[in-house]
Structure 1
Amino acid sequence: MPQQLDARAAELLKLLIERYVHDGLPVGSRTLARAFSVELSPATIRNVMADLEEFGFVSSPHTSAGRVPTTRGYRYFVDSLLAPEQLSDSEQSRIAEDLVPGSKSPADLLHAASNLLSRLSAMAGVVTVPRRNLAVLRRIEFMPLSGGRVLAILVVNQREVQNRVLDMGRDYSASELERYSNIINENFAGRELTSLRRTLVEDLSEAQKRVNQILGEAGVLAERALGAQQDAEDYVLAGGTNLLAFQELGDINRLRNLFEVLDRKRDLLELFDQCLTASGVQIFIGGESGYQVLDECSVVTSPYYVDGQVAGVLGVIGPTRMAYPRIIPLVAETARALSAGLKAES
């Protein structure tokens, strides 16, 4: 495969992709001839198309004389030929209005961002929840409940309050729980939750070896309280049913497998986790994701930030036949606006 196409081949590939994205139909030489900037003979266009097919940039469906882009063709287009579009005034206004700093809780901002991506792209919008290891424990309190249960009250970051009901299997007195919360607050306040949980597990093991009952009980309660977060929502998805509108995703088995991935979450989270250490917009086209069920899809993502640190990832999932020049700036601007909104809440 050549490292760089000549100007004529590149323009024809760009025209073919733009037409295919718009119409969803194989593109023939006659259509390209009408759209090309200078007059070319049909034989010349056919020769260039044959070269592009040999290089793996386009393919010919069995039912048509026209050609469609391949994953390799889309990748060349995105990396070398794409010119991002400006978002319209109405799109920019909608993003600014829905993600205005201080107008919503962090959870509501995540849902608003996911819904925005879905509505403005007409595809599926996904926002992962902020990474838990960025959450800092300020204070923890325990209160006794009936039936061997304990209410854990966590103050996280500056003012976020999280409540967890823990089924401990035995009753605790208020004085016991106060003693345990004091131990944790004195020793662990100001620590990030994920690293704190690891430390508590290690300290709990050491405490058990030393038969230190007070520290051991405190460790059990705190570890359970922090571990309960693992059941929290991992990402917010909106507009999954939009994918039904794309004929290339219309095969019922393919759609069933895709919706299972969206519902199961693990595979998609693994894909999005790859973007946590990357800066700017990342694009996975077709098989580049590494997940067979996404072979006919593209995923466009961007990290968003809280206090200058990557907190999570948002993006759009749709067919490989997506309008990349429009979707890329949409994802980037939504990430910027969500970061600004969450900063106001931190």
Structure 2
Amino acid sequence: MLNERAQILLRTLIERYIHEGQPVGSRSLSKFSGLDLSPATIRNVMADLEDMGLVTSPYTSAGRIPTPQGYRLFVDTLLVMEPLDSAELSHLESQLHPDNPTRLINAASQLLSELTRFAGVVVTPKRTGAVFRYIEFMALSEKRILLIIVTPEGDVQNRIIHTDATYSQTDLIEAGNFINQNYAGCTLDVIRSRLHKELKQLRYDMTSLMNAAIEAGGDAINESSEAVILVGERRLLDIHDLSGNLTSLKKLFDLFERKTKLLQLLELSHHAQGVKIFIGGESDVASLEEFSLVTAPYEMKGEIVGTVGVIGPRRMAYKRIIPIVDVTARLLSQGLSQH
């Protein structure tokens, strides 16, 4: 346990380091802490904090910087949150109004990156399994057909089907009506299990067309169901703290490439109560010493369906980033629940 004086000095040190990016010395601590302490007293407190593993002295600098343990104590017990300013809040509200779910989720990841200048990430809701809500065929040429698929979430996907036979527009309307009436809202496995016996009532070339349409529909949905949406990762290359550390950047971008690992990390906060923060190498899933991840779960009609988050350097303005992530998750929940 830290006494009040040590808490104030640690909070001041971390706030100054986040703001300036330079080791913080006794003079700055005396100036910004509001405490009437001698330099010797401040140095003694800093020595105690260093012994506790909360701060460290980089190189031969007289100043000190926080350790991951220092950041953790700061975030958990010393942080004074900063509410979003009205302009940022209005921007979020205007962009995250009820809309097509996929566009809403993509907008959330874009906004997180835009407002924080870091990488914004969203774990998308798991698919319900239904292949389509509605399909339509349009003839492009004798043996090329445009398949228009409306997903259960309201997205529109287009696929071109190459056929062996030539179909009239009347044939295509008949096929579309049959599929919509019998298979809309079903999973791909259910459709496949029913196709063999139920399509015997149609002529062979129509059966071939419908099989092609169902397979194309399943492929379209699978391609559009990316589990993790990541936006703004290149912004991290411009951050001074990170740009010179190629080893850490390589580890991070390897994590971005292997989205399964990133998904595992984000799902650790899937059932968290509000915002959850990973600082440095706290997670066993991914060791990212120079980075922090701020996440929050979002809901659809009362059920948690995904996670939003921001990935940035450990030296981030937590008092600003945390409310951005929190408000984004809440607005996304409202937008999806009203859809």
TM-score by length of 1: 0.76
Segments of structure 1 that go 5 or more residues without pairing to the other structure are: none
Matched, 1:302 2:277: no
Q: 1:6 to 1:227 in 2, by over 3 A?
A: farther
Encode CA deviations 1:24-80: one digit per residue, 9 max, x unaligned. 111112221222233122232222222222222111112312111111111111111
Q: Between Structure 1 and Structure 2, how many residues are aligned?
A: 327
> Any idea what SS the aligned residue of 1:328 has?
helix
Q: 1:138 to 1:112 in 2, by over 3 A?
A: closer
Aligned equivalent of 1:249: 242
What is the CA-CA distance between 1:324 and the residue it aligns to?
0.6
Within 5 Å, which residues of 2 pair with 1:1-346? Answer: 4-102=1-99, 105-133=100-128, 138=133, 154-157=149-152, 160-163=154-157, 165=159, 186=182, 196=187, 225-226=217-218, 228-232=220-224, 234=226, 235-251=228-244, 253=246, 254-289=248-283, 290-292=285-287, 294-344=288-338, 346=339
Q: 1:47 to 1:185 in 2, by over 3 A?
A: farther
The 1-side partners of 2:270 and 2:189 are apart by 21
Q: 1:169 to 1:269 in 2, by over 3 A?
A: farther
Between 50-59 and 168-177, the greater mean CA deviation after superposition: 168-177
> Any idea what SS the aligned residue of 2:282 has?
helix
8 Å contact kept, 2:148–2:156: yes
> Any idea what SS the aligned residue of 1:287 has?
coil
> Any idea what SS the aligned residue of 1:61 has?
coil
Encode CA deviations 1:297-334: one digit per residue, 9 max, x unaligned. 11111122223322322211110001111110111111
The 2-side partners of 1:200 and 1:80 are apart by 54
What is the CA-CA distance between 1:241 and the residue it aligns to?
2.7
The 2-side partners of 1:260 and 1:89 are apart by 37
> Any idea what SS the aligned residue of 1:118 has?
helix
RMSD over aligned Cα, in angstroms? Answer: 3.7
The 2-side partners of 1:317 and 1:90 are apart by 23
What is the CA-CA distance between 1:6 and the residue it aligns to?
2.0
Which residue identity lines up with residue 116 of structure 1 in the other structure?
A: L
8 Å contact kept, 2:151–2:221: no
TM-score by length of 2: 0.78
Between 145-154 and 261-270, the greater mean CA deviation after superposition: 145-154
Encode CA deviations 1:171-225: one digit per residue, 9 max, x unaligned. 7999899889968965x7656xxxx457678x69xx9xxx97969x999975774
Which residue identity lines up with residue 229 of structure 1 in the other structure?
A: I
The 1-side partners of 2:180 and 2:166 are apart by 17
8 Å contact kept, 2:127–2:225: no
Segments of structure 2 that go 5 or more residues without pairing to the other structure are: 201-207
The 2-side partners of 1:225 and 1:330 are apart by 37
